Structure 1
């Protein structure tokens, strides 16, 4: 099944709108394949929709409130959608071992999505965590022993 560029962008935009910004985790099945892979750098890697859903549920409303992902640009090449985005939110819970600062932050990121049969099969994310941490006034992270 071939997916048009606009359909692929619409799929990723729908995921942003309903799940990321809307908080509707029950919509994950509409956007991701059962055997999906999610790679989030320091946030880990999840294989399969069930594992990703557990991760998403555990993190919903956690470290940041008012979290909002705003796409800036979409690029499509074959089955791949690249989304350049801005993330924002207020740090109201623990994040990367640091207590809440109650400060707002805005940072950039890139998501690379592979589309398979009308759903997202794979997602890889890179975000400018350093810019976010500096806005929060966090200049060093706890070390593990």
Structure 2
């Protein structure tokens, strides 16, 4: 079944987060993508509110910690007002990240994000990613 025009628009908007915002570093586009009352549910970092919350707790830490950050979209499923993305995060830990000083180590992690769109913006997201893998790969402590 072919995607409808609203589904294609929703997919384009959801893909802008990993591609245009996270990979390209376009912080100004955050306000265009997220609704003012946006909520992200993320068990690794807690609940995030609004475009500023996304900028402060997701965008800035990752862009500061990994200057060559790349978030590649591997799969997309769009239906109605929902879009699911499966992504792969990669980069070099060359800046401070969540209290961890730069290690110069490469990072690769997988994740999923379910987006609910309303009024042409992302209203809500549920995010799961390999947070333990990120911590292990950015840590200087030996792993088991």
Would the TM-score normalized by the shorter structure come out above 0.5? yes
Question: Within 5 Å, which residues of 2 pair with 1:87-98?
Answer: 87-98=89-100
Please give the root-mean-square deviation of Cα atoms over the aligned residues, in Å: 2.5
Cα separation, partners in 2 of 1:3 and 1:114, compared to 1, 3 Å: farther
Select the residue among 28, 31, 41 that pairs with 1:29.
31
Question: Within 5 Å, which residues of 2 pair with 1:1-145?
Answer: 4-56=6-58, 58-59=60-61, 61-136=63-138
Q: Work out the number of aligned pairs and report it.
A: 140
Q: Which stretch has the larger CA shift, 52-61 or 77-86?
A: 52-61
Are the equivalent residues in 1 in contact too, given 2:34–2:50 (CA < 8 A)? no
Once residues 28 and 136 of structure 2 are traced to their aligned partners in structure 1, the CA distance between those partners, rounded to angstroms, is: 34
State TM-score, norm by structure 2: 0.81
Once residues 75 and 7 of structure 2 are traced to their aligned partners in structure 1, the CA distance between those partners, rounded to angstroms, is: 13
Are the equivalent residues in 1 in contact too, given 2:10–2:83 (CA < 8 A)? yes
Aligned residue for 2:29, secondary structure, equals helix
Structure 2 residue ranges without an equivalent (≥5): none
Structure 1 residue ranges without an equivalent (≥5): none
Cα separation, partners in 2 of 1:95 and 1:54, compared to 1, 3 Å: closer
Which whole-Å deviations, capped at 9, do the CAs of 1:77-131 have from their partners, x for residues lacking one? Answer: 3211110010001112333443322011211100111010111001121111233
Once residues 133 and 52 of structure 2 are traced to their aligned partners in structure 1, the CA distance between those partners, rounded to angstroms, is: 31
Cα separation, partners in 2 of 1:45 and 1:90, compared to 1, 3 Å: same
